[in-house]
Every structure is written in structure tokens, then in C-alpha cells.
Amino acid sequence: MIWIGGQLVSEGPGGVYGERMIGGYRHWSPKRSKLSALYYLGRGVELEKHHRVLYLGAANGTTVSHVADYVEVVYAVEPAPRPMQDLLVVAQKRRNIIPLMADARTPSQYLPLVEKVDIIYQDVAQPDQVKILLTNAGFLAPDGVMVFMLKPRSVDVTRSPADVAATVEEGLSSGGIHTDGCIWLSPYYPDHAALICTPE
């Protein structure tokens, strides 16, 4: 990852969401992206030029654009029409973002278009987040890794985030996915956690 003066940056065309430029690089703010927050907490997965990424929950392409600055290709899945419009604008300025208007619950919608990937990144904020991740695990190449952004309140607002996280970890384990535990994204995203997952 590229750091300039303690700030995470990426190298690519700016002006995606009004991000600041630092020495010609795009500032990747931990306040605008949970993945950036994970790097600021010292726990992100190193992105490399040869990496292929399946990104579930692309939204309007804020984080996708930074990931695309680092890797070979990003398959960006987003079902909602409004953010997809913005994502298409972002993708027009980059050759390595493949926007897929699809529901990650139904990977058969994009199965013919997506190859095996080195990283699955998921940030969908849905009640069935674990199931969605498990449903997509088949896209992972051997030695691949999944970065799972968990929003406990989307799973169950009546239980504490820590309690939900424990259930999520059990669910992943029963689905054959290993994780070293939750990385809470405070102070950037209180009550959000990241889990770095690998197939067992």
C-alpha cells in the first residue's frame, strides 16, 4: 500500500468523489471507506497489481475506485440502480472495473462473467451477510482471502454488536470459513467490524 506522510493514497485519476490529492496521488480517507479504515488500523490485506477482486456491494464506487487503482481487475457487483449509475461513471474512467448489476445472493447472474479471484471483498449491510459471503466463496482462487465488512445492526438491531459478531463467526465456521476474529473499525466506523476470512 502507498502511504505519503502517514496518509493512505492510491494512484489513479482523481475527482471521483471530491477526494483530496496528495503529491499527485488520491487520498483514501478512513472516514470515507471502511477498507481504508482497516488499513489505518494496520490490519488490511495488501493489494497487489496482479490481484483480481470480486467486490460485493460496490455502491457508487468510492472504495471500488481506490481498489481498482491498486489491482488488475475489480468485478463490482451492485443491484441498486441509483448507485450503479454513479459506478458506471467511475468505470468509464478506468479500464479495470467490470460493473455487474446483480444481486450477490444469486451469483449465477454473474458466474459466466467472473473468473476466480484473489480477494472477495463484501460490504452489503444486509441481514443475511454471512449467507451471501458463503454463497460467493466458490469464486475464490486457492490461497485467496475474503475481507468481510460486518454491520451487526443490519443483522439484528436488538442484540449487542459483539453478540451478533460472535454468532456471525460461528456461522462462518459452520460454513467452512476460518477467521481470526473481528477487527472493530472504531474510531472510524463504530459498531462496524471487519473479518479476514479464508476457507478452512
Query: How does DSSP classify residue 112?
Result: G
Shortest reach from residue 42's CB to ligand SAM, in Å? 19
Q: Contact letters (x/-) for ligand SAM, 139-158, by CB under 6 A?
A: --------------------
**For ligand SAM, which is the closer residue by CB, 25 or 148?**
148
The 3-state DSSP class for residue 189 equals coil
Query: Binding segment for ligand SAM among 4-12, 40-48, 51-59, 180-188 (CB under 6 A)?
Result: 51-59
Got the DSSP string for 10-67? E-S---SSSPPEETTEEE--TTT-HHHHHHHTT-PPPP-TT-EEEEE--TTSHHHHHH
Q: Contact letters (x/-) for ligand SAM, 72-101, by CB under 6 A?
A: -----xxxx--x------------------
Shortest reach from residue 61's CB to ligand SAM, in Å? 7
104 binds ligand SAM per the rule CB under 6 A: yes
**For ligand SAM, which is the closer residue by CB, 104 or 193?**
104
Within 26-45, the residues that bind ligand SAM by CB under 6 A are: 33-34
Closest CA to 167 of 57, 189, 158: 158
User: How do 193-199 and 177-184 pair as beta strands?
Assistant: antiparallel
Residue 108 burial (CB count, 10 A): 8
57 binds ligand SAM per the rule CB under 6 A: yes
Q: Please tell me the count of residues contacting ligand SAM according to CB under 6 A.
A: 20
- Contact by Cβ (8 Å): 198, 178: yes
Torsion sign, CA atoms 80, 82, 88, 93:
negative
Residues at the contact surface with ligand SAM, assessed by CB under 6 A: 33-34, 56-57, 59, 62-63, 77-80, 83, 103-105, 123-126, 132
